[in-house]
């Protein structure tokens, strides 16, 4: 059973990743070929990879990814979530960024 903090956490993760997908101007187009075979190709993308390894969302092979698991956020005792690495999540300029989130 999903609890409300988990639902909000998933919403936050999807919102943050949406910012990454549109950070370079035009949204990236994903083909349906990856999921046409009925399989899931899930990719785990960490926020520390952006700063620690210089691996950015634009480097993801989006044409073959069906699901993205983004990490990490912190969760407070009251169920609210927050960025544990604001530099990687929202402050680092990825080139072509539209500073729509802060």
Confidence of residue 1 (pLDDT cuts 50, 70, 90): very low
Q: How far apart are CA 51 and CA 53, in angstroms?
A: 6
* pLDDT exceeds 50 at position 9: yes
pTM, two decimals, is 0.47
| Phi/psi at 11 (5° precision) | -60, -45
Which range, of 5-9, 18-22, 62-66, 94-98, averages the lowest pLDDT? 18-22
Q: Where do the structural domains in the chain lie, given as residue ranges?
A: 4-91
Distances (CA, A) of 96 to 21, 56, 86: 11, 13, 18
In this predicted model, what pLDDT tens digit does every residue of 29-60 receive, in sequence order?
555 555 556 788 888 888 878 777 778 878 88
């Amino acid at each position: 059973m999903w609890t409300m903090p988990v639902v909000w956490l998933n919403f936050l993760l999807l919102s943050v990743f949406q910012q990454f997908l549109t950070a370079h101007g035009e949204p990236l187009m994903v083909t349906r070929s990856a999921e046409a075979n009925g399989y899931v190709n899930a990719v785990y993308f960490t926020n520390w990879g952006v700063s620690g390894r210089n691996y950015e969302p634009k480097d993801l092979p989006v044409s073959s990814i069906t699901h993205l698991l983004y990490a990490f956020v912190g969760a407070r005792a009251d169920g609210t979530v927050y960025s544990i690495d604001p530099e990687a999540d929202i402050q680092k300029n990825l080139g072509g960024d539209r500073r729509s989130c802060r």
